[in-house]
Structure 1
Amino acid sequence: MGTLIGHVAPGFGFLLIGLWHLYNHTKLYSLHPRSYRFFPWFPAAKLRHLELFLIAAGSCASIAMELFIGPQRHQPLDPDLTIPSNHLHNFEHASISLTFLLYAAFAFTFDRTRPARPAAEPLTILAASAAFAQQLFLFHLHSSDHMGVEGQYHWLLQLVIAVSLITTLMGIGYPRSFSVGFVRSVSIGFQGIWFIVMGYALWTPALIPKGCFMNEEDGHYVVRCSSDEALHRAKSLANIEFSWSLAAVVSLSLLFYLLLSSRYVEKMEYSSIAKSTGEMETEEMDLEEERSSFLSLGKAMRNVDLER
């Protein structure tokens, strides 16, 4: 991951997933505000598990790049099968990708298992939470320099990851909160944006802050500064970039909600007044069971697209 493409590629992945979730959460809440429910992933119209397949494919590609393609010997170990110091960060990045791969695999398995398990949805959310927790843990205790410019970018990234982790866990206790789903989607997209910003800011020579330079250390390039004043200035610039990015993400997310909510208007459901109380309670129970199923969610989304 310690390259331009190593940050930009996963950044686009996070951004794509974040936008996909933001679109679906906003669409579902706009159409069905009373029956809205938090979901950790969303089925696609043509290929139901496309999101999970993309997460799994991206994770596998990241692991292969970190452990087999990136290293000069195409394997990250020393001749005595120990992990050299210059490849510790490769194993850290691969461990993050492995956790996301496990999340995608178990989410797919839970969704395909019939009959559906009662705890499938909360356990899927826990698996997603574990992936974000692993990401936060390894970036917090990263083997790379914590004091330099890259460390400042990583510290700011941890703030966004923490929001993703907290809101994912809140999805278990507050499954009908649109705010939880909205903030989680925005935070995932913001992770992607910040990865892209890091990639260009730290590995594009023309964008290196004044007084700093790219230095090759242990087989990869890092940004070093010639003085404490230059380092302080570079960190301050990173903070400013983060604040501007945050303002842009919040503004665009709210604008996205306004535009999408005006396109998808709430669907009113009418029922006969003559229905008995018992019949209405039975229908409500059936409807609740349908809402808790990912399968019914996929069908509902396809029906909405057909009606349009």
Structure 2
Amino acid sequence: MGGTPRSSIGHILPGAGFVAVGLWHLFNHMKLFALRPDAYVAPVWFPVPRARYLELALIIAGSAAEFAMEMFAPPPPPPGGSPPPPPRLHNHEHAIICLALVVYAGAAVHLDRVRAPARAALCLLLVAAVFAQELLVFHFHSTNHAGVEGQFHWLLQLVVAACLATALLGIGFPRSFAVSLARSACITFHGLWLIVIGAMVWVPSLVPKGCSPVREDGRDTVRCHSKESLHRALALANLQFGWYLSFMTVFVVALYLYVCNRYPAAGEAAAAAYAPLQTAGDEHDEDMDARKGGVLEIEV
């Protein structure tokens, strides 16, 4: 079995899309908060100059293409002498996630065009529905995700659950920069982990030592040749998750510092916004001191 199977591409391309959206949101949330910390309200999506709905249009196009691939692409031919593959239930389950993304992006465009009230909260509910759908699909998947593949997908469920939680928190705390930052970072990490799954499970040269790609029930997966190899591969998956999580944390902090330095006016605006204001009582006390002949000193 050589080359990169379709299962790998089916994870890497959607993963790249999640990474792109997550990075776009990370940067824009940081920039918006840096420029207006006192008036920060988190948008659900960010318009582009001269192409307001570009982000949503790309989500619709990418999700529709993946939906078509899952629903209508012909299945790979079975090996010689083997029975035909069973119904492609897992393809239909993946297509449901793509459909949820299309519904979210399409509804977001329409709600913005008609200037519907509470559209931000409704859009976040739709985002939460997407991640709830994904979590449901991967938790009750018709495909038996066992062994190495199962461990990678179990860790993916943790990331999807975090995306769902931060989307719901964003409804109740629209002015919280921490919630928006965490949601954007989770979306980015979600895409990164999808890319890792596509590479480590379905690229033969990257399959853990002691394991090999096999074809079972009309689909590609990985099986280890011994219990020792399986335990080593599972531990490697856990270590990778920790490595990439640490990398993601460092990256987010570094990006935040870069954005703060890139927009230095933000620090001055924040200082002005939080500077203590002189009260009427303070002015009265100063006038009394002046009448008593004292010298009033004002620090600049």
TM > 0.5 between the two?
yes
Shift of 1:218: 2.2
Q: How does 1:230-269 map to 2 (within 5 A)?
A: 230-264=229-263, 265-266=265-266, 268=269
After the TM superposition, which segments of 4 or more aligned residues of structure 1 sit over 3 Å from their partners?
A: 267-271
> Structure 2: which 5+ residue stretches go unaligned?
78-84, 274-300
Task: State the identity as a percent.
Answer: 49
Does structure 1 conserve the Cα–Cα contact (< 8 Å) formed by 2:86 and 2:218? Answer: no
Q: Note the alpha carbon deviations across 1:198-229, whole angstroms, 9 max, x for none.
A: 11101111111122111111222100111222
Q: Aligned equivalents of 1:251 and 1:2: distance in 2?
A: 32
Q: Which amino acid aligns with 1:184?
A: R
What is the match of residue 151 of structure 1? 150
* Cα distance change, pair 14–70 in 1 and its aligned pair in 2 (3 A): farther
What is the match of residue 184 of structure 1? 183
What is the match of residue 168 of structure 2? 169
Q: Residue 189 of structure 1: SS of its match in structure 2?
A: helix
Which segment is superposed worse, 62-71 or 185-194? Answer: 62-71
Shift of 1:119: 2.2
Does structure 1 conserve the Cα–Cα contact (< 8 Å) formed by 2:121 and 2:171? Answer: yes
Q: Aligned equivalents of 1:90 and 1:119: distance in 2?
A: 35
Does structure 2 conserve the Cα–Cα contact (< 8 Å) formed by 1:128 and 1:168? Answer: yes
Shift of 1:2: 6.2
What is the match of residue 52 of structure 2? 48
Is the counterpart of residue 100 in structure 1 residue 101 in structure 2? yes
Does structure 2 conserve the Cα–Cα contact (< 8 Å) formed by 1:86 and 1:218? Answer: no
Q: How does 1:200-211 map to 2 (within 5 A)?
A: 200-211=199-210
Q: Aligned equivalents of 1:229 and 1:146: distance in 2?
A: 19
Q: Aligned equivalents of 1:179 and 1:91: distance in 2?
A: 36
Does structure 2 conserve the Cα–Cα contact (< 8 Å) formed by 1:103 and 1:127? Answer: yes
What is the match of residue 66 of structure 1? 70
Q: Which amino acid aligns with 2:102?
A: L
Q: Aligned equivalents of 2:74 and 2:176: distance in 1?
A: 42
Q: Residue 39 of structure 2: SS of its match in structure 1?
A: coil
Q: Residue 41 of structure 1: SS of its match in structure 2?
A: coil
What is the match of residue 277 of structure 1? none
In terms of Rg, which structure is larger? 2
Q: How does 1:1-308 map to 2 (within 5 A)?
A: 3-72=7-76, 85-113=86-114, 116-264=115-263, 265-266=265-266, 268=269
Q: Residue 104 of structure 1: SS of its match in structure 2?
A: helix
How many residues are aligned here?
259
Length-normalised TM-score, structure 2: 0.82
Q: Which amino acid aligns with 1:48?
A: R
Does structure 2 conserve the Cα–Cα contact (< 8 Å) formed by 1:86 and 1:219? Answer: no
* Cα distance change, pair 119–198 in 1 and its aligned pair in 2 (3 A): same
Q: Aligned equivalents of 1:86 and 1:216: distance in 2?
A: 16
Q: Note the alpha carbon deviations across 1:180-203, whole angstroms, 9 max, x for none.
A: 000100110001111111111011
Shift of 1:86: 4.4
> Structure 1: which 5+ residue stretches go unaligned?
74-83, 272-308
Q: Residue 44 of structure 1: SS of its match in structure 2?
A: coil
Does structure 1 conserve the Cα–Cα contact (< 8 Å) formed by 2:212 and 2:224? Answer: yes
Q: Aligned equivalents of 2:99 and 2:178: distance in 1?
A: 29
Q: Note the alpha carbon deviations across 1:126-167, whole angstroms, 9 max, x for none.
A: 011100110111111112223211111011011111111111
